[in-house]
Amino acid sequence: MTRRAVPGPVGERPNEPSIFERRESVVRSYCRRLDCVLDTAEGSLVRDITGREYLDFVAGAGSLNYGHNDPDMRAALIAHLEHGGISHSLDMFSSAKGAFLTTFESLVLLPRGMDHRVQFTGPTGANAVEAALKLARKVTGRTNVIAFTNGFHGMSQGALAVTGNRHHRGSPQNPLYGVTRMPYDGYLGDSVDTADLLDRMLHDPSSGLDAPAAILLETVQGEGGLNVASSAWLRRIAELARTSGALLVVDDVQAGCGRTGTFFSFEPFDIVPDLVVLAKSISGYGLPMALLLIRPEYDVWLPGEHNGTFRGNVHAFVTARVALEKFWSTVDFSADVARRSQMLARQLAGVGDLVPGASVKGRGMMCGIDVGSGRRAETVVRRCFAEGLMLETAGSYDQVVKLLPPLTTPDKVLHEGLDILLSVIRAAASGHEWRSSSGPVTA
Ligand SMILES: *Cc1c(COP(=O)(O)O)cnc(C)c1O
């Protein structure tokens, strides 16, 4: 990390290591590329302590679909605090939880014909994934879970077992059990339908594939490189789950809450998962909150069987309710996300054309460009940051430059961000360094 010339918020002198460098564990990650000390934020803009502004197209890795500090959510939260609203209540009933559930039922579940129950898990996506895995195993009495290449489901051991990424899987130095990995849609190229392989293996009594408790997938793989599953593939996998007696689990932690245009990412495909995992943007305000939706016949937990101190963050219930009321009472928001998704796709196709071999990835407002190597993507992200645009990377080799702007980003601001990306890629792609890094494309 660079030494900071500006005194830090805790008064470091210039050229001294900051409090973060001195004391924060080296496990820190995003701050290595996006190296600034954040102070305030509004909508799609964040400001650091020097007053410098950035367009935030990382949006808390998809936790800020409605942008930073939405004024209506903030007002409701302040009102709750000032009224002496309870802030922690274990899983006891509270007015805030009741109001959230009522709104979630009327605006999300009922209109989609879903009779799912809502389980509040610990406040992270990983904890809700753990709950889904435990429940699917309990319901079926089976151990094996089918998960897919490049899937990402969180950092706890159960969630890591279903995650593909080797860098993360290596950390526990402990076997990760009970999962069979299968190739995701498109993993073997366009000419191979990987659902055929799963179909064959599930039905061949000597394939060696143990009967699955669950088939777990993301409809768009967020961390895994913005890989998109086709409608036909998803429907087939759903059917295979049904015929093999496995629960279909959709991890909608990143692709849900409107990121692909509909509230759930699976809505366009007429599939209804048995279990759905939501986290990241469900609170609407960047507050920790996660939940698991369960078809009622599978809600077989014993009381407290998946317990936890922070299930149900009351402040998150308050902002989550406002988010639903504000953005999901009508179809307008969804239509607007769809419109902007098309605009993004068109513009990114233009950017992709600047880079030989590059491809546009993703669906809806989770999209990006595979620039062919992790080094190139790193160059793009660093230079964009220097120009005031925050981006991340994704994919097996971190070779995908990823855009997750808040869904509420005004068109003008989206264009500003894309212009920065375009000019950075144009400059980088003409540089010597860029061409010389094109050895093994995926190194
Ligand atoms: C971020 C993410 C998780 C894990 O959520 P945490 O809150 O970081 O534990 C799980 N699944 C998907 C698809 C994610 O993007």
Going along the chain from its start, the domains and CATH numbers come out as: 19-63+332-435 (3.90.1150.10), 72-327 (3.40.640.10)
Outline where DSSP puts E strands in 128-213: 145-148, 179-182
In this predicted structure, the answer to whether residue 10 has a pLDDT above a threshold of 60 is: no
Q: Which atom of ligand 1 is nearest to the CA of 222?
A: 15
Contact (Cβ atoms closer than 8 angstroms) between residue 282 and residue 103: no
* Residue 5: C-alpha distances to residues 13, 52, 53, 230, 390 (Å): 8, 14, 18, 49, 21
Q: What does the buried/exposed string (b/e) look like for 138-167 if buried means 16 or more CB atoms within 10 Å of the residue's CB?
A: bbbebebbbbbbbbbbbbbbbbbbbbbbee
CA-wise closest residue to 119 among 306, 310, 324: 306
Tokens of 406: 């808040």
Conformation bin of residue 377: beta by default, left when phi > 0, alpha when psi is -120 to 50: alpha
- Predicted confidence at residue 17, as pLDDT, reads 87
- Predicted confidence at residue 172, as pLDDT, reads 77
Task: Count the residues in the chain.
Answer: 443
Tokens of 21: 């460098």
* Residue 215: C-alpha distances to residues 162, 343, 360 (Å): 10, 33, 27
**Average pLDDT score over residue span 224-243:** 98
- Predicted confidence at residue 9, as pLDDT, reads 59
DSSP state string for 252-294: -TTTTTTTTSSSSTTGGGT---SEEEE-GGGGSSS----EEEE
In this predicted structure, the answer to whether residue 5 has a pLDDT above a threshold of 60 is: no
* 402 CA → ligand 1 middle, Å: 16
408-442 pLDDT, tens digit per residue, is 999 999 999 999 999 999 998 888 767 655 444 44
- Predicted confidence at residue 3, as pLDDT, reads 44
Element (H, E) at 79: helix 71-82
**Average pLDDT score over residue span 37-63:** 98
143-174 pLDDT, tens digit per residue, is 999 999 999 999 999 999 999 999 999 887 88
Tokens of 252: 């909608």
In this predicted structure, the answer to whether residue 4 has a pLDDT above a threshold of 80 is: no
284 lines ligand 1 (CB under 6 A): no
Q: Whole-angstrom Cα distance, residue 37 to residue 17?
A: 13
Q: Which atom of ligand 1 is nearest to the CA of 288?
A: 7
* 353 CA → ligand 1 middle, Å: 31
* Residue 122: C-alpha distances to residues 54, 234, 362 (Å): 32, 28, 29
125 lines ligand 1 (CB under 6 A): yes
279 lines ligand 1 (CB under 6 A): yes
265 lines ligand 1 (CB under 6 A): no
- Predicted confidence at residue 352, as pLDDT, reads 81
- Predicted confidence at residue 429, as pLDDT, reads 85
Q: Whole-angstrom Cα distance, residue 226 to residue 169?
A: 20
**Average pLDDT score over residue span 106-123:** 98
More confident residue, 434 or 209: 209
Q: Whole-angstrom Cα distance, residue 325 to residue 415?
A: 28
CA-wise closest residue to 371 among 406, 340, 405, 395: 395
* 280 CA → ligand 1 middle, Å: 7
* 419 CA → ligand 1 middle, Å: 30
Q: Which atom of ligand 1 is nearest to the CA of 255?
A: 13
For tokens 């007015």, the residue is 95
